[in-house]
Amino acid sequence: MLPTALPTRKRRRPEVAFARGREEVKFRDVTLYLVERRMGKSRRNFLSNLARSKGFCVDDALSSDVTHVVSEGNSAQELWNWLEEQGFGEKHDRHVLHISWFTESMSAGQPVPVEIRHYIQDPSVDQKSSAHSSAKQDSTVSTYACQRRTTLNNHNKIFTDALEILAENLEFCGDQGPSLAFRRAASVLKSLPAALRRQEDTQRLPCLGEHSKAIIEEIFECGSSSRVEEILNDERYRTMKLFSSVFGVGLKTSENWFCRGLRTFEQVLSEPSIRLNRMQTAGFLFYEDISKPVSRTEASALKIIVEEAVICVNPFATVSITGGFRRGKEFGHDVDFIIKTPEAGQEDVILPAVIERFKSQNILLYSDLQESTFDIRQLPTHCFDAMDHFSKCFLIVKLKCEQETDARAARDWKAVRVDLVAPPLERYTYALLGWTGSTLFERDLRRFARLERGKLLDNHALYDKATNTFLPANTEEDIFAHLGLEYIEPWQRNA
Ligand code: UTP
Ligand code: MN
């Protein structure tokens, strides 16, 4: 049956976008139908031909072969009224979808899995099942953090704090896998628009395993989790937490000290067999200051100092805050800056010069400069730890404060941790995305790119395995578009 196109008021434009060839059908399970209503004839032709050129089968008629109906610009009500008029029968394998599913599939070069957010729901069905509306809302939550919008407004802190303590404790025990499961569970809860009201609210949520659900249940029933209380009082947990809070002391060192029976800083510092490295020495030396959170005001003051130093070296270079502060956090454990130089090659000289300037200003307390090991010929990398090959430095600097922080020492400054990274110009966008975080958001972006799109993403590049090409990006939006993802603003990446 041919759909009756509604009369359009617009004047007809020439129809042919590109001629229809004899393209090979690659995806036999999918037959598309694009609704002309609101989309218009010429755009429909254009999109149909685009899809065919990518190996999709597109039916011009709403036949019984059609599996995916795609609509643009129609309200759910008018679309479904029209579909009914066409005698469109519901079958379980037929999808009525928003144009976003189509565009994501085009950029992926293959049909992407249909998710709840792609559906245009029949409003009459919606009314019938409104009793289940809260569960329905929950089922739209993606398993990937990069498909969720997570602001700092966490409505489920009581649960996420508990789950994150469990995760941290497992990290301290070296159980990275189970730890990640709790981190993911916490992250899903952080993205919810409201607090969980009862245990059943967790049923439709992804990434919540039996353990996570049990913890939530206990908090619902008792107001807290006995397992979490136990961990907070556990000697190993407390000691690992204390030791690893020192700059330069990682989990391995913390564990080593714990196993040797050490429990306090005093014991570590008076143990003759322990040789602290330069970083750890600075960590202990400035512990009191750098274990305190850095405020946004302090971060802004530091930005001016960094900018001044950078511009001295290269008047055309720019400095941007990244990390947690770019995501809108009010406090951080350090301040992360990314430097953009206008020409390739300039990134290599800028950090040593900034360090020299801080020295001459007498504000440098510690510096660890890591020269660039970036080699474009080694891309794409297949290891996806957060580390990258760019020129960067980890610093502790003196930040002048209004009041003297310590009357006895008569200090008018506070020691603050600062990270600077200076990627080559053409790598800037990928580096900015990577350094903005959060860590779990980045992890899921990479996982999504690899598993759902056959692409490799890291701080250096985005690589398409299907075509063996690097995908260019001038903005973060470009990277999301390459991945067929809706753009997520930095302040929505607090996964
Ligand atoms: P941070 O550890 O500074 O975290 O790393 P944060 O989100 O700013 O949080 P706080 O407030 O300081 O505690 C910022 C981002 O930079 C990435 C990390 O993966 C994280 O997403 N990063 C860090 C890299 O990509 N490469 C590095 O070498 C270091
Ligand atoms: Mn940071």
274's tokens: 């322990």
Q: What separation, in Å, do the N-terminal and C-terminal C-alpha atoms of the chain show?
A: 48
| 459 Cα nearest atom in ligand 1 | 25
Q: How far apart are CA 22 and CA 354, in angstroms?
A: 60
Nearest CA to ligand 1 atom 16: 435
Domain range summary for the chain, segments of one domain joined by +:
31-123, 139-231, 234-285, 294-436, 439-492
Q: How far apart are CA 326 and CA 160, in angstroms?
A: 22
User: For every one of its 495 residues, what pLDDT tens digit does the chain have, with 9 covering 90 and above?
Assistant: 444 444 444 444 444 444 455 678 999 889 999 999 889 898 899 899 999 999 999 999 998 889 999 999 888 888 888 888 888 876 666 899 999 899 889 988 999 988 877 888 877 764 444 444 343 343 489 999 999 999 999 999 999 999 999 999 999 999 999 999 999 999 999 999 999 999 999 999 999 999 999 999 999 999 999 999 999 999 999 999 999 999 999 999 999 999 999 999 999 999 999 999 999 999 999 999 999 999 999 999 999 999 999 999 999 999 999 999 999 999 999 999 999 999 888 899 999 999 999 999 999 999 999 999 998 888 887 766 668 999 999 999 999 997 766 666 778 999 999 999 999 999 999 999 999 999 999 999 999 999 999 999 999 999 999 999 999 999 999 999 999 999 999 999 999
CATH topology of domain 439-492: Beta Polymerase; domain 3 (3.30.210)
pTM for the predicted model, two decimal places:
0.75
DSSP 119: B
* HSE value, Cβ hemisphere, 13 Å, CA-based, for 296: 7
CATH architecture of 139-231: Orthogonal Bundle (1.10)
Closest-approaching ligand to the CA atom of 324: 1
Biggest distance spanned by C-alpha atoms of the chain: 89
- Other CB atoms within 10 A of residue 478 CB: 15
- Give the containing element (helix H, strand E) for 420: strand 413-422
Task: Please say whether the structural domain 31-123 has been given the CATH code 3.40.50.10190.
Answer: yes
Domains 139-231 and 234-285 are alike in CATH topology: yes
Q: How far apart are CA 370 and CA 263, in angstroms?
A: 32
Q: Kindly report the CATH number that applies to the domain delimited by 294-436.
A: 3.30.460.10
Distance 237 CA to ligand 2 centre (A): 24
Residues near 97 by beta carbon (within 8 Å), at least 6 away in sequence: 68, 69, 70, 71, 114, 118, 119, 120
Pairing of strands 68-71, 95-98: parallel
- Other CB atoms within 10 A of residue 201 CB: 20
CA-only gyration radius of the chain, Å: 27
CATH architecture of 234-285: Orthogonal Bundle (1.10)
Residues near 214 by beta carbon (within 8 Å), at least 6 away in sequence: none
Q: Which of 190, 320, 435, 436 to mutate to test the pocket of ligand 1 (most atoms within 8 A of CB)?
A: 435
Which amino acids are annotated as binding site for Mg(2+), given as ranges? 334, 336, 419
Distance 323 CA to ligand 1 centre (A): 5
DSSP 491: G
